């Protein structure tokens, strides 16, 4: 997993929970790097999972909720750092519908070693989008947060629903986005 995800996560934890909690989850996760992550490095995603679990235990907040909040936050970071991906895009449905064929293609050009989830689109129109998420990693709630971050960014009223298709494992999920009734 890209180092930027780790550095952003720890910054968010420090900002929302404080330096002590950030330090504690690094210690608890038993990171082989001792928690020294650089944005340009690559690290085992399990280190992230251990930190999220540790934060959940420490804060009493469900893992799914933590992943969701982090996903929403990371979307704003992506938008700030990779603004060119959003040029000419006018809606969340347009952007999210282009992830598999455009965004991920460009991401692979920048980071050939990136391990990305895949998205299938069984249904799409200007007002409704169904996205099927599939990954070897249990990060569907993180994807949910990213999708919600995107919807918030574009501002149009869209209802987003997530249906786990992997018996709660978080590796396969369906997201349905629908324009909310006016």
Partner 1 sequence: MSDELADAEKRIALLERKLNRERSAREEAEGLLEQKSLELFSRNQALGRSNAELEQFAYVASHDLQAPLRSISSFSQLLARNERDNLSEDGQEFLGLINESVVQMRQLIQDLLAFSRVQRDEIPDTPVPLAEVLADVRSRLRAAVDEDGAQIEVGDMPTVIGHSGQLTQLFQNLVGNGLKFCRDGVAPAVKVTAKCSGGKAIIRVEDNGIGIAPEHHQRVFEMFKRLHTQEEYEGTGIGLALCRKIVDRHNGDMDLESVPGEGTTFILTLPLA
Token match 């690559």: residue? 42
Integer angstrom CA distances of residue 142 from 12, 71, 150: 14, 5, 12
Q: Which residues within the stretch 149-178 sit at the binding site for partner 1 (CB under 8 A)?
A: none
Which of 16, 23, 28, 174 is the binder for partner 1 (CB under 8 A)? 23
Closest separation between CB of residue 43 and partner 1, Å?
10
Residue 41 interacts with partner 1 (CB under 8 A)?
Answer: yes
Cβ-based neighbours of 12, under 8 Å, separated by 6 or more? 69, 70, 73
Q: Which stretch binds partner 1 (CB under 8 A): 35-43, 52-60, 122-130, 134-142?
A: 35-43
Closest separation between CB of residue 146 and partner 1, Å?
24
Residue 105 interacts with partner 1 (CB under 8 A)?
Answer: no
Nearest to 79, CA basis, from 3, 129, 153: 153
Residue 34 interacts with partner 1 (CB under 8 A)?
Answer: yes
Laid out side by side, the sheet with 172-179 consists of 118-124, 128-134, 172-179, 158-164
Residue 132 interacts with partner 1 (CB under 8 A)?
Answer: no
Cβ-based neighbours of 80, under 8 Å, separated by 6 or more? none
Residue 36 interacts with partner 1 (CB under 8 A)?
Answer: yes
User: How many residues make up the chain in this entry?
Assistant: 182
Residue 107 interacts with partner 1 (CB under 8 A)?
Answer: no
Closest separation between CB of residue 122 and partner 1, Å?
31
Q: Which residues within the stretch 47-86 sit at the binding site for partner 1 (CB under 8 A)?
A: none
CA dihedral sign, ordered 152, 90, 180, 102: negative
Give the Cα separation of 147 and 149 in Å (integer).
Answer: 5
Closest separation between CB of residue 16 and partner 1, Å?
16
Closest separation between CB of residue 41 and partner 1, Å?
6
Structure tokens at 59: 């804060």
Nearer to partner 1 among residue 55 and residue 139 (C-beta)? 55
Q: Which spans of this chain sit near partner 1 (rule: CB under 8 A)?
A: 7, 19-20, 22-23, 26, 33-41
């Amino acid at each position: 997993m890209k180092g930027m995800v780790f550095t952003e996560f720890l910054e968010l934890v420090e900002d929302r929970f404080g330096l002590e909690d950030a330090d504690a989850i690094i210690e608890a996760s038993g990171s082989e790097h001792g928690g020294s992550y650089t944005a340009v490095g690559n690290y085992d995603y399990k280190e992230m999972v251990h930190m999220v679990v540790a934060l959940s235990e420490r804060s009493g907040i469900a893992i799914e909720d933590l992943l969701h909040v982090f996903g929403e936050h990371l979307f704003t970071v992506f938008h700030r750092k990779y603004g060119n991906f959003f040029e000419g895009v006018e809606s969340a449905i347009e952007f999210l519908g282009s992830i598999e064929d455009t965004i991920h293609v460009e991401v692979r050009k920048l980071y050939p070693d990136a391990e990305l989830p895949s998205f299938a689109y069984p249904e799409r129109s200007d007002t409704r989008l169904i996205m099927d998420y599939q990954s070897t990693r249990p990060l569907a709630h993180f994807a949910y947060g990213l999708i919600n971050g995107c919807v918030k960014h574009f501002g149009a009223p869209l209802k987003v629903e997530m249906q786990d298709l992997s018996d709660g494992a978080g590796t396969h999920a369906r997201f349905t986005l629908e324009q909310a009734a006016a």
